Structure 1
Amino acid sequence: MIKITRAHYVQHRVLRLYFSDNSYGDYDLQPLIDRQTELVMPLNDETYFKQFFLELGALCWHNGLELSPGNIHRKLAEQQQLHSQIQVA
């Protein structure tokens, strides 16, 4: 099972996510925010957007929004946006 191990804010609505399979990618949440559902509407506020956290490998916000690491990983792979981390011995 894929998990997100680290997450960093990159720029407006984009997070760099590192996964348990030693891959990473920049995930643009704007398409999700554009849906304007009740759970994603708070992400329009940049300050709130930056308050993301990881819980059990999932990307979360305090309003209960939780994004599946497996789905994010799959989407990044489909978009050819996943990169391998170089392992240093």
Structure 2
Amino acid sequence: MNPYVVGVEVKQEYVLKLAFENKEVRLFDARPFLDKGIFNELKDINYFKQVKVAFGSIEWPHEQDFSKDTLYLLSTSFES
């Protein structure tokens, strides 16, 4: 079972810095998803920046979301 997301920050355009409950910090690049169905709205960077943690994952105001598993498995380690 993958860890829950406990923090999110927009690091650069369409890249999220995620803090997980296991103390890992990882980067998730959302760009590959922006042309897919409901994620189209995320192309508006001002809307993209409205991301928030919800139920151990992340979501936007119009209920676009990524599962904690997707976020963990498709993200890369972040070295500060």
Matched residue of 2:33: which SS?
helix
Q: Which residue of 1 aligns with 2:20?
A: 19
Q: Give the Cα–Cα distance (whole angstroms) in 1 for the partners of residues 46 and 6 of structure 2.
A: 22
Query: What percentage of residue pairs aligned between the two structures are identical?
Result: 22
Q: Which residue of 1 aligns with 2:61?
A: 62
Unmatched 5+ stretches in structure 1: 85-89
Structure 1 position 5 matched with structure 2 position 11: no
Q: Give the Cα–Cα distance (whole angstroms) in 2 for the partners of residues 11 and 72 of structure 1.
A: 16
TM-score, normalised via structure 1 length? 0.79
Segments ≥4 residues shifted beyond 4 Å: none
Q: Give the Cα–Cα distance (whole angstroms) in 1 for the partners of residues 56 and 38 of structure 2.
A: 19
Q: Which residue of 2 aligns with 1:43?
A: 42
Q: Give the Cα–Cα distance (whole angstroms) in 2 for the partners of residues 40 and 83 of structure 1.
A: 24
How far is the alpha carbon of 1:82 from its aligned partner?
2.1
TM-score, normalised via structure 2 length? 0.86
Q: Is the 8 A contact 1:16 1:26 kept in 2?
A: yes
Q: Is the 8 A contact 2:27 2:78 kept in 1?
A: no
Give the aligned length.
Answer: 78
Q: Which residue of 2 aligns with 1:82?
A: 77
Q: Whose Rg is larger?
A: 1
Matched residue of 1:39: which SS?
helix
Unmatched 5+ stretches in structure 2: none
The amino acid across from 1:26 in the alignment is L
Matched residue of 2:38: which SS?
coil
Please tell me the root mean square deviation across aligned C-alpha atoms, in Å. 1.5
